[in-house]
Amino acid sequence: MNDNSSTSAQIEADGERLVLAGDWTLEHFYRIQRKLKSLDPSQFTTLCFDNVTRLDTSAAQLLVEWFDPARMHELSSQLPASRRSLLLSVTEAVQTQQQDPPPKADANTLTQAVALLGRHMESLFLQQKYLLAFLGLVLSALARTLWRPKRWRVTATVYHIQQTGLNAVPIVVLLTFMVGAVVAFLGATVLETFGATIYTVNLVAFAFLREFGVMLAAIMLAGRTASAFTAQLGSMKSNEEVDALHTQGLDPIEVLVLPRVIALWVSLPLLAFIGTLSGIFGGAVVSMVALDIPLAQFLRIVERDIAITHFYVGIVKAPVFALVIALIGCAEGFNVSGSAQSVGEHTTSSVVQSIFMVILLDALAALYFMEMGW
């Protein structure tokens, strides 16, 4: 290779001996590549590195691939130890890459769809397995601290009750009030055909006592609180604050997770109760304005026709929803890898999982209670 610089990479063919000189680095990669293409590697049986001043992995990989890894392994035995170790490392890496080529994309669309479904099912199974293991850790931590009042995190628990419960009251009241009004409008529109608009009262009360009150409050907390838990714990994980707790001999489950779980256990039943009352009140307002049903008559119909059992059926689901939302939010927070992108991904995942699990559990509970005749 012709170059006026004394440090440029040089290659000379001396019979069966290949003489290398200068800097064999990334800076001269394309020069080396062009020169090697003009030579036949099979004619050389000896390598000379005596005049090589610098050698990096890029030039070494180019030389290994040109010679073939097997031949380079043989030729490198003649070299000094400082050069041989680098060439052998690059040779092993190239051999590994050649032995394990990347899988070719399957042209069969059906096969790809089935494989994608399989990966999603495997991911779902591992996710649920992790969630069950996390539930075990939370319950064991709760059992350890339940009979030791000195270890209770009262301040943190009260703080999270305020954040998840008290601060969520306005949005829950507004949401359930509007949904109650919509349910009343729809019920009145359908029942008017049969001359039974008075049963709009029963529809609104039945729907909110059994389903909508607790489910809307849970969905609101799933979007509002689960995401907050994941972002908070994910940021702590990124800043190594969780590792600092371990270093101090503290259990992160006891310090960070239990106060959040207990706070949701307190907050969600109260929000569900408030949401139920607000939804029924929304239906009552629509009944007064559009159906000429006075508030006193509305309340008498609810008291006469709607059994208290329906309220129990709805409110008993609140602690279960609270546990699921808190577990998913905290578990996703502990899964954050450390980057800002990971925090965002796991926050989104916690919201989606929480809402999905709330709706799924509510559907299963509705089927169970219906079969039981409750």
Residue 19 lies in a domain: yes
The answer to whether residues 161 and 240 belong to one domain is yes
Residue 69 lies in a domain: yes
Q: Find the domain containing 195 and state its range.
A: 130-372
DSSP E strands, the chain: 10-14, 17-24, 46-55
Domain boundary among 79, 99, 119: 99
Number of alpha carbons in the 13 Å side-chain half-sphere of residue 55: 20
The answer to whether residues 337 and 227 belong to one domain is yes
The per-residue pLDDT for range 239-276, each reduced to its tens digit, is: 888 888 888 888 888 888 899 999 999 999 999 999 99
Which of 22-31, 119-128, 156-165 is the most confident on average?
156-165
The answer to whether residues 170 and 292 belong to one domain is yes
What's the mean pLDDT when you consider all of the chain? 83
Provide the token pair at 92: 């092993």
The CA distance from 321 to 136, in Å, is: 17
The answer to whether residues 135 and 80 belong to one domain is no
Q: Letter for the amino acid at 293?
A: I
CATH number at residue 25: 3.30.750
The answer to whether residues 56 and 191 belong to one domain is no
The answer to whether residues 226 and 336 belong to one domain is yes
Residue with the two structure tokens 């208290």? 308
Residue 59 lies in a domain: yes
Distance of CA 12 to the CA centre of its chain: 57
What confidence category does residue 115 fall into, taking pLDDT thresholds of 50, 70 and 90? Answer: confident
pTM: predicted TM-score of the whole model, two decimal places: 0.68
The whole-number pLDDT of residue 236 equals: 86
Domain boundary among 99, 117, 141: 99
Taking each helix axis from N to C end, the angle separating 57-67 and 29-37, rounded to the nearest 10 degrees, works out to 10
Provide the token pair at 300: 């008498």
Largest CA distance in the chain: 110
